[in-house]
C-alpha cells in the first residue's frame, strides 16, 4: 500500500466543517428557533448516512450475485456484509428512542415548516427497498399513487433506472436455480424427499386416528388440518400447484427447492455459508419490518391520527407497510416444508463427498 505523504488532519478528513455546519433549523427563519428541531435534523441526517453505508455494503453483494459463478470466498464476503447491515439496522431502530425524547408538543413547534417534506422522500431508503427486490406492484400504495409522484424529476428518473436493474431477490433466485446437488448424477433427491414426506404424513395420520384422548370430531378436525399440510407439500412437486399456493412468489419452484435443500442439509460444510446467508437475508427483512413497526408507533405518539407532513395517512400508512412491504417472504415460507432430521433421505456418498471440503 502506498503511503500518504501528506499529514492527515482529523477535522479535514471527516469534513467536519461541512457535516457540523449542515444543520439549519427552519423555525429560526420565522421567529424563535425551536430547540428540538436540531435534534430532528441530526437524527434524520444520521439515518441517511447509515442508509448510504447499507447501500455501500449491499452493492458488493449485488455485484457478486450478478456473476455466473460465485466462489465460497465471495459468498463468505457477502455474508459478512449482511452481518454488518444487520448491525446498522439495529442502530437505526435504537435511534427511534432518541427522537422519542422529543415531546409531541415540541415537534408541533416546527412541524408545519416542514410541509410537504417527508421521510417518504428519502431516495436512499427507496433505493434500498428496490435494490433488495421490493416491486412496485407489491408495495403499499402511497395515497393511491406511486411514491415517485412525491419526488423531484431528477430523483424519479434515478429510481426508475434503479428499478430496471436486477434486484437481489432476482439474482438470488438465479443462483439458487444453479444449485447442482439436488440432481447429481443418477441421484434424484426430490423423489426420495417426496417419499419421506408421504411416509411422515401417513405416520402422523395414524397417530391422530389412534390418539385415545381425541373424540371423533377432534380426530376429524386434525385430519383435515393434516390434509392441508399434505396439500402444501404437494405444491413443491408441481408448478401449477406451487403457483396456486404461492401466487405472489418471486422464487421459482426450482429455486425454492434448492433453498429448502440448503436448509435441510445445512450442517454440511459447503452448505453452511449458503444457509447462513439465506437466514441473514431473512434477518434483514425482519429488521426492516421491526423498524417500520417501531417507526409507525413513534409517528402515532408524535402526531396521533393527523396526516403526515408529506400528505400520507401518517401512522395508518406506515403500519400497513410493516406487513406488506416485505421482500424475502419466500425464504420464510421454507419452514413449511422442513422435516425432522431423522426423516431426511440419506445422501449418496458421492454427494456427501462433494458437500465437504476436500483434503489435499
Q: Are residues 118 and 258 in the same domain?
A: yes
CA–CA gap between residue 122 and residue 155 (Å, rounded): 10
342, three cell numbers: 431423522
Q: Which of 230, 245, 260 is the endpoint of a domain?
A: 245
Our CA angle for 117, 118, 119, nearest 5°, is 140
173, three cell numbers: 433466485
- Tell me, yes or no, whether 283 lies in a domain: yes
What is the full per-residue pLDDT of the chain (360 aa) written as tens digits?
Answer: 888 888 999 999 999 999 999 999 999 999 999 999 999 999 999 999 999 999 999 999 999 999 999 999 999 999 999 999 999 999 999 999 999 999 999 999 999 999 888 888 999 999 999 999 998 776 666 544 566 778 999 999 999 999 999 999 999 999 999 988 777 777 788 888 999 999 999 999 999 999 999 999 999 999 999 999 999 899 998 999 999 988 888 999 999 999 999 999 999 999 999 999 999 999 999 999 999 988 888 888 888 766 555 444 455 666 666 667 889 999 999 998 998 888 888 888 888 888 886 543
Other CB atoms within 10 Å distance of the CB of residue 132: 22
Q: Are residues 217 and 343 in the same domain?
A: no
Residue 240 domain boundaries:
187-245
- Tell me, yes or no, whether 3 lies in a domain: no
Burial (CB < 10 A; 0-12, 13-18, 19+), residue 153, is exposed
- Tell me, yes or no, whether 13 lies in a domain: no
| Site of grid cell 419452514 | 335
Q: Are residues 288 and 177 in the same domain?
A: yes
Could you tell me the maximum CA-CA distance found in the chain, to the nearest angstrom? Answer: 85
Question: Number of structural domains, the chain?
Answer: 2
Q: Are residues 266 and 135 in the same domain?
A: yes
Q: Are residues 92 and 205 in the same domain?
A: no
- Tell me, yes or no, whether 348 lies in a domain: yes
CATH of the domain at 327: 1.20.58.480
Asked if 357 and 269 touch (Cβ cutoff 8 Å), the reply is: yes
CA–CA gap between residue 338 and residue 266 (Å, rounded): 12
Reported pTM: 0.89
CA–CA gap between residue 326 and residue 135 (Å, rounded): 10
DSSP readout, 87-121?
HHHHHHHHHHHHHTTS-HHHHHTTGGGGTT--GGG
Asked if 40 and 46 touch (Cβ cutoff 8 Å), the reply is: no
Q: Are residues 199 and 315 in the same domain?
A: no
Half-sphere exposure of residue 19: CA atoms within 13 angstroms, side-chain side = 13
116-298-331-265 Cα dihedral, nearest 10 degrees? 140
- Tell me, yes or no, whether 31 lies in a domain: no
Q: Which residue in 312, 331, 324, 273 sits closest to 129, CA to CA?
A: 324
Asked if 128 and 162 touch (Cβ cutoff 8 Å), the reply is: no
DSSP readout, 159-178?
HHHHHTSPPHHHHHHHHHHT
Other CB atoms within 10 Å distance of the CB of residue 3: 5
- Residue 123 preceded by cis peptide, ω within 30: no
Asked if 270 and 72 touch (Cβ cutoff 8 Å), the reply is: yes
Cα dihedral across residues 251, 254, 257, 262: positive or negative: negative
- Tell me, yes or no, whether 112 lies in a domain: yes
Q: Are residues 82 and 220 in the same domain?
A: no
Asked if 252 and 54 touch (Cβ cutoff 8 Å), the reply is: no
β partners of residue 187: 184
pLDDT for residue 310: 47
Q: Which residue in 82, 139, 113 sits closest to 292, CA to CA?
A: 139
For the chain, list the strands marked E by DSSP. Answer: 183-184, 187-188
CA–CA gap between residue 225 and residue 219 (Å, rounded): 10
Our CA angle for 289, 295, 296, nearest 5°, is 90
Q: Are residues 69 and 206 in the same domain?
A: no
pLDDT for residue 295: 86
Q: Are residues 282 and 312 in the same domain?
A: yes
Q: Are residues 128 and 215 in the same domain?
A: no
- Tell me, yes or no, whether 20 lies in a domain: no
Q: Which of 202, 219, 245 is the endpoint of a domain?
A: 245
Q: Are strands 187-188 and 183-184 parallel, antiparallel or unpaired?
A: antiparallel
Q: Which of 228, 245, 262 is the endpoint of a domain?
A: 245
Q: Are residues 156 and 272 in the same domain?
A: yes
- Tell me, yes or no, whether 65 lies in a domain: yes
Q: Which residue in 150, 164, 131, 167 sits closest to 51, CA to CA?
A: 131
From the centroid of its chain, how far is CA 214?
A: 41
Q: Are residues 110 and 147 in the same domain?
A: yes
Amino acid at each position: 500500500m502506498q503511503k500518504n505523504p501528506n499529514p492527515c488532519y482529523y477535522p479535514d478528513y471527516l469534513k467536519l466543517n461541512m457535516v457540523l455546519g449542515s444543520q439549519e433549523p427552519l423555525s429560526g427563519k420565522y421567529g424563535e428557533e425551536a430547540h428540538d428541531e436540531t435534534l430532528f435534523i441530526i437524527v434524520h441526517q444520521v439515518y441517511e448516512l447509515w442508509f448510504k453505508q447499507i447501500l455501500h455494503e449491499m452493492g458488493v453483494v449485488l455485484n457478486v450475485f450478478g456473476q455466473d459463478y460465485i466462489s465460497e470466498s465471495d459468498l463468505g464476503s457477502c455474508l459478512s456484509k449482511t452481518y454488518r447491515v444487520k448491525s446498522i439496522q439495529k442502530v437505526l431502530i435504537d435511534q427511534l428512542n432518541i427522537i422519542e425524547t422529543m415531546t409531541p408538543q415540541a415537534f408541533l413547534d416546527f412541524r408545519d415548516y416542514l410541509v410537504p417534506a417527508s421521510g417518504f422522500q428519502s431516495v436512499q431508503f427507496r433505493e434500498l427497498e428496490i435494490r433488495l427486490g421490493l416491486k412496485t406492484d407489491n408495495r403499499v400504495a402511497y395515497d393511491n399513487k406511486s411514491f415517485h409522484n412525491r419526488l423531484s424529476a431528477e430523483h424519479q428518473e434515478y429510481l426508475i433506472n434503479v428499478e430496471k436493474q436486477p434486484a437481489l431477490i432476482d439474482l438470488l433466485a438465479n443462483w439458487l436455480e444453479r444449485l447442482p446437488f439436488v440432481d447429481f448424477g443418477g441421484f434424484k433427491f426430490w423423489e426420495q424427499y417426496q417419499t419421506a414426506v408421504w411416509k411422515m404424513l401417513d405416520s402422523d395420520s395414524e397417530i391422530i386416528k389412534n390418539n385415545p384422548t381425541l373424540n371423533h370430531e377432534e380426530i376429524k378436525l386434525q385430519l383435515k388440518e393434516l390434509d392441508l399440510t399434505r396439500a402444501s407439500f404437494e405444491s413443491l412437486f408441481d408448478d401449477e400447484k406451487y403457483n396456486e399456493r404461492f401466487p405472489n412468489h418471486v422464487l421459482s419452484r426450482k429455486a425454492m427447492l434448492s433453498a429448502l435443500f440448503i436448509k435441510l442439509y445445512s450442517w454440511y460444510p459447503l452448505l453452511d455459508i449458503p444457509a447462513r446467508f439465506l437466514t441473514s437475508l431473512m434477518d434483514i427483512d425482519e429488521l426492516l419490518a421491526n423498524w417500520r413497526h417501531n417507526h409507525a408507533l413513534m409517528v402515532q405518539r408524535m402526531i396521533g391520527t393527523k396526516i403526515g407532513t408529506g400528505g400520507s395517512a401518517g401512522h395508518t400508512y406506515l403500519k400497513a407497510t410493516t406487513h406488506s412491504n416485505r421482500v424475502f417472504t419466500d425464504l420464510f415460507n421454507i419452514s413449511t416444508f422442513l422435516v425432522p432430521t431423522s426423516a431426511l433421505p440419506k445422501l449418496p456418498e458421492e454427494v456427501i463427498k462433494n458437500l465437504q471440503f476436500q483434503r489435499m
